[in-house]
Amino acid sequence: MNIATVAGHLAFGLIASSFLVKDILWLRMVSILASAFSVLYNWVIPVEPMWLPIGWNFVFIVLNLYHIAVIIYEKRPIKMAPKDKELYETLFKDLSPVEYLKISKVARWEKYKSGERIIRQGTPVLDLILIYNGTVDVAVDGKGVAQLKDGQFVGEMSFLTEKPATATCIVKHDTECLVWKQPEFKDLLKRNPSLYYTIQGLLSNQLVSYSSKGEK
């Protein structure tokens, strides 16, 4: 078996294995190796070098190197405030530190007093609220149906459906929250697809949890 055959098998084998790779960084690295062996194959085959595939594989290598650099940059350690660090490590760990900072920069910290109504059933919901520390009671038609605590969202149904509130939410104990204005947050998510799918997954999982418990 000559070197061209070996390089060809390695190139196509790596391409096939890339379909099994879930981590995006390793996927980029496997793609670079596959392109490199493809270049070698097209260079050493016993005919004139095939410059078209060689050229395109070099383009693929450069593109993947660029994306690897971006991934490494976004995963670099970043100093966070204690509250942000806690939220990131407990709730947003699927995001890179840089991605978390993007969503935290468009949010604000709010403190709500006991008995304060933050959402009224049947009215538009302007904010998406994440409870950092406290308790919020949820009622439908005046009947209590759920109680939300640390790490849970308030207003997630309206955020996903763009419909008026399906429940009234009243603060039970003094509560501190991270709050996003819906239009501004949605605009950020539209410009960052990976953020969009991660946040949508968090909100959808909470709704599924309610449904399984018969709470919402």
pLDDT in tens, 13-53: 777 777 666 677 788 888 888 888 888 877 777 677 677 67
Gap between the Cα atoms of 72 and 74, Å rounded: 6
Mean pLDDT of 158-164: 93
Whole-number pLDDT of residue 20 = 67
For residues 30 and 174, which has the higher predicted lDDT (pLDDT)?
174
State the Cα–Cα distance between residues 83 and 89, nearest whole angstrom: 10
143: helix, strand or coil: strand
Q: For residue 215, is pLDDT > 50?
A: no
Q: Residue 43: in which H helix or E strand, if any?
A: helix 24-44
CATH assignment of the domain containing 97: 2.60.120.10
The answer to whether residues 35 and 100 belong to one domain is no
pLDDT of res. 76? 76
Of the two residues 51 and 102, the one the predictor is more confident about is 102
Locate all alpha helices (DSSP H) within 112-169, ordered by sequence: 156-161
Domain co-membership, 95 together with 148: yes
Q: Considering only residues 141 and 18, tell me which one the structure prediction assigns the higher pLDDT.
A: 141
- The percentage of residues in the chain with a pLDDT greater than 70, rounded to a whole number, is 92
Domain of 156 in residue numbering reads as 82-213
Give CA 147 to chain center in angstroms: 26
Q: What is the per-residue pLDDT for 212?
A: 55
Residues 99 and 158 in one domain: yes
Average pLDDT, the chain: 86
Token pair 């790596």 is found at 14
SS3 annotation, 90-119: HCCCCCCHHHHHHHHHCEEEEEECCCCEEE
pTM of the model: 0.67
- Does one domain contain both 206 and 127? yes
- What is the Cα–Cα distance from 153 to 132, expressed in whole angstroms? 9
For residue 190, give both structure tokens.
């539209």
Residues 55 and 122 in one domain: no
Residue 150 predicted with pLDDT over 80: yes
